[in-house]
Amino acid sequence: MGVDGILIDVEVDAGYGIPSFDIVGLPDTAVRESKERVRTAIKNSGLKLQQEKITVNLAPADIRKDSPGLDLPIAIGLLASHSLFPLKRIEGCLFSAELSLEGECRPVRGILPMTIAAKEKGFGAIFVAKENANEALLVQGIKVYAVTTLAELVTFLRGETQLTPAEPKAQEKEVTGWADDFADVQGQFAAKRALEIAAAGGHNVLMVGVPGSGKTMLARRMNSILPAMTQEEALEVTKIYSIAGLLPHEGGLVTERPFRAPHHTTSMTAMIGGGSIPRPGEVTLAHHGVLFLDELPEFGKSTLEVLRQPLEDREILVSRVHASLRFPSSFMLIAAMNPCPCGYYGDESGGHPCECSASEIKRYTRKISGPLLDRIDIHIRVPRVEYKELSSREKAEPSAAIRARVEAARKIQHERLKAYGIFSNAQMNHAMIQELCPLEASAQALLKMAFEKMNLSARSYDRIIKVARTIADLAGGAAIGPKEVAEAIKLRNNVGLSLE
Q: Where are the beta strands (DSSP E) in 358-482?
A: 378-382
Q: Mark whether 24 and 152 lie in a shared domain.
A: yes
DSSP letter (8 states) at residue 173: P
The whole-number average pLDDT for the span 81-90 is: 92
pLDDT class for 62, splitting at 50, 70, 90?
confident
Cα 44 versus chain centre, distance? 40
Whether residue 378 has pLDDT greater than 90: yes
Cα–Cα distance for residue pair 457/367, rounded to 1 Å: 20
Q: Tell me which residue of 482, 430, 428, 496 sits closest to 457, measured CA to CA.
A: 430
- Amino acid 168 reads P
104, part of any domain: yes
The answer to whether residues 199 and 222 touch, using CB atoms and an 8 Å cutoff, is yes
* pLDDT at site 331: 95
Please tell me the total count of domains within the chain.
Answer: 2
* pLDDT at site 395: 81
Backbone angles phi, psi at 27, to 5 degrees: -80, 150
* pLDDT at site 176: 46
pLDDT class for 187, splitting at 50, 70, 90?
confident
Q: Mark whether 101 and 237 lie in a shared domain.
A: no
Task: Let me know the angle formed at the C-alpha of 104 by 103 and 108, rounded to the nearest 5 degrees.
Answer: 120
Q: Tell me which residue of 240, 285, 41, 252 sits closest to 131, measured CA to CA.
A: 252
Q: Mark whether 188 and 46 lie in a shared domain.
A: no
DSSP letter (8 states) at residue 2: T
The whole-number average pLDDT for the span 242-267 is: 89
Q: Mark whether 399 and 291 lie in a shared domain.
A: yes
Whether residue 493 has pLDDT greater than 80: no
Q: Mark whether 205 and 321 lie in a shared domain.
A: yes
* pLDDT at site 321: 66
* pLDDT at site 13: 93
Q: Mark whether 144 and 265 lie in a shared domain.
A: no
Backbone angles phi, psi at 11, to 5 degrees: -105, 130
Cα–Cα distance for residue pair 398/178, rounded to 1 Å: 10
Whether residue 219 has pLDDT greater than 50: yes
Q: Mark whether 270 and 406 lie in a shared domain.
A: yes
Q: Which range among 160-169, 173-182, 267-276 shows the weakest confidence by mean pLDDT?
A: 173-182
Q: Mark whether 276 and 337 lie in a shared domain.
A: yes
pLDDT class for 213, splitting at 50, 70, 90?
confident
Whether residue 173 has pLDDT greater than 50: no
Q: Report strand pairing: 205-209 vs 332-337.
A: parallel
Q: Mark whether 115 and 194 lie in a shared domain.
A: no
How confident is the model over 422-446, as pLDDT tens digits? Answer: 889 999 999 999 999 999 999 999 9
pLDDT class for 67, splitting at 50, 70, 90?
confident
Q: Tell me which residue of 364, 396, 498 sits closest to 191, measured CA to CA.
A: 396
Q: Mark whether 217 and 147 lie in a shared domain.
A: no
1, part of any domain: no
The answer to whether residues 75 and 102 touch, using CB atoms and an 8 Å cutoff, is no
Q: Mark whether 152 and 188 lie in a shared domain.
A: no
How confident is the model over 360-377, as pLDDT tens digits? Answer: 988 998 889 889 999 999
The whole-number average pLDDT for the span 409-424 is: 91
The whole-number average pLDDT for the span 174-197 is: 81
* Edge-to-edge strands, sheet with 20-24: 9-15, 53-59, 20-24
- pTM reported for the whole predicted model: 0.89
The answer to whether residues 456 and 450 touch, using CB atoms and an 8 Å cutoff, is yes
* pLDDT at site 498: 45
How confident is the model over 274-333, as pLDDT tens digits? Answer: 877 788 999 999 999 999 999 999 999 999 999 999 999 999 988 776 677 889 999 999
CATH code of 54's domain: 3.30.230.10
Last residue of a domain, one of 406, 423, 440: 423
**Domain boundaries, position 14:** 9-157
Task: Let me know the angle formed at the C-alpha of 293 by 292 and 299, rounded to the nearest 5 degrees.
Answer: 160
How confident is the model over 28-59, as pLDDT tens digits? Answer: 888 999 999 999 999 999 998 888 899 999 99
Last residue of a domain, one of 382, 400, 423: 423
- For all residues of the chain together, what is the average pLDDT? 90
165, part of any domain: no
How confident is the model over 452-480, as pLDDT tens digits? Answer: 888 888 988 999 999 999 999 999 877 89
The whole-number average pLDDT for the span 150-173 is: 87
The whole-number average pLDDT for the span 397-423 is: 92
The whole-number average pLDDT for the span 378-383 is: 91
Whether residue 200 has pLDDT greater than 90: yes
410: left (phi over 0), alpha (psi -120 to 50) or beta: alpha
Cα–Cα distance for residue pair 468/475, rounded to 1 Å: 11
Whether residue 90 has pLDDT greater than 70: yes
How confident is the model over 110-156, as pLDDT tens digits? Answer: 999 999 999 999 999 999 999 999 999 999 999 999 999 999 999 99
* pLDDT at site 500: 39
Q: Report strand pairing: 143-147 vs 205-209.
A: unpaired
61, part of any domain: yes
363, part of any domain: yes
Task: Kindly state the percentage of the chain with pLDDT values over 70.
Answer: 95
Last residue of a domain, one of 123, 157, 191: 157
Output Rg (C-alpha) for the chain, integer angstroms.
28
Q: List all residues 6 or more positions away from 418 whose beta carbon is below 8 Å from its beta carbon.
A: none
Cα–Cα distance for residue pair 135/118, rounded to 1 Å: 14
169, part of any domain: no
153: left (phi over 0), alpha (psi -120 to 50) or beta: alpha
Cα–Cα distance for residue pair 313/283, rounded to 1 Å: 12
Q: Which range among 143-147, 227-231, 387-391, 454-458 shows the weakest confidence by mean pLDDT?
A: 387-391
